Amino acid sequence: MLEPLEARLLRPHQSPRARPAAIRFFARSGHSFVAEEAGRPRGFVLAQALWQGDRATVLATRLVAEDERTRKALLAALTKSAYDAGAYEVALAAEGTEDATLEEAGFVPGPRLFVRRLGSQGARGEHRGVLE
C-alpha cells in the first residue's frame, strides 16, 4: 500500500523502508502515521520510541509526503503522539550532510537529525541533549 508512494517520492540514494514487515513493526509503535485523502495514501511517517536510560525519545526514521500540507499534518501527529506518551524529545532522521572532513575520511553522507523538545523545555528553546 505505501511502497508505491515511497518509491515515487524517494530520492535516488534513499533505500525503501515501507515494506510490509517494517509497516507491521512501526504500526505497533503508536508513533507512526499514514495520511490519507479519499482513501488514497498521501504520506506517512515511520517512528518509534527509544529508551535512553533516563528518558524516552521518539525517533522518526522516514517521513514521506506528497506536499507540504501533508508533511505538516504528519509532523503534528508525530509531535502529539510523543507528547501524549510522555516522550518530550522528538528526533527526525533527515537525509544529507555537508561535512567534507568526514567525506575525505571515507564516510558518505547519512542521516542527519532534526530535534525538538516538547513541553516547558521546548518553550524555553532548549534542544541540547536529544540523542547526544
For the chain, how many structural domains are there in total? 1
Mean pLDDT of 6-16: 81
User: 115 or 50: which carries more pLDDT confidence?
Assistant: 50
Q: Is residue 129 situated within a structural domain?
A: no
pLDDT of residue 97: 39
Q: What is the DSSP string of 80-103?
A: HHHHHTT--EEEEEEE----HHHH
Residue-wise burial string across 16-44, b where 16 or more C-beta atoms lie within 10 A, e elsewhere = ebbeeebbeebeeeebbbbbeeeeebbbb
Interval 67-91 mean pLDDT: 91
Whole-angstrom distance, CA of residue 45 vs CA of residue 121 = 24
Q: Is 119 helix (H, G, I), strand (E, B) or coil?
A: helix
Residue at 28 is within a domain:
yes
Its pTM stands at 0.77
* Residue 104 confidence (pLDDT): 62
Q: Residue 76 and residue 93: Cα distance in Å, rounded?
A: 16
> What tens digit of pLDDT does each residue of 14-64 get?
778 899 999 999 999 999 999 999 999 999 999 999 998 899 999 988 888
In terms of pLDDT, which residue wins out, 57 or 105?
57
Q: Give a yes or no: residue 132 inside a domain.
A: no
Q: Residue 123 CA to chain centroid, in angstroms?
A: 21
Q: Which domain holds residue 78?
A: 3-123
Q: Return the CATH number at 60.
A: 3.40.630.30
Average pLDDT of the chain, as a whole number: 84
> Comparing 57 with 97, which gets the higher pLDDT?
57
pLDDT of residue 130: 72
pLDDT at 102 over 50: no
97 vs 67 pLDDT, higher one: 67
pLDDT digit string, tens, across residues 118-131: 999 889 988 777 75
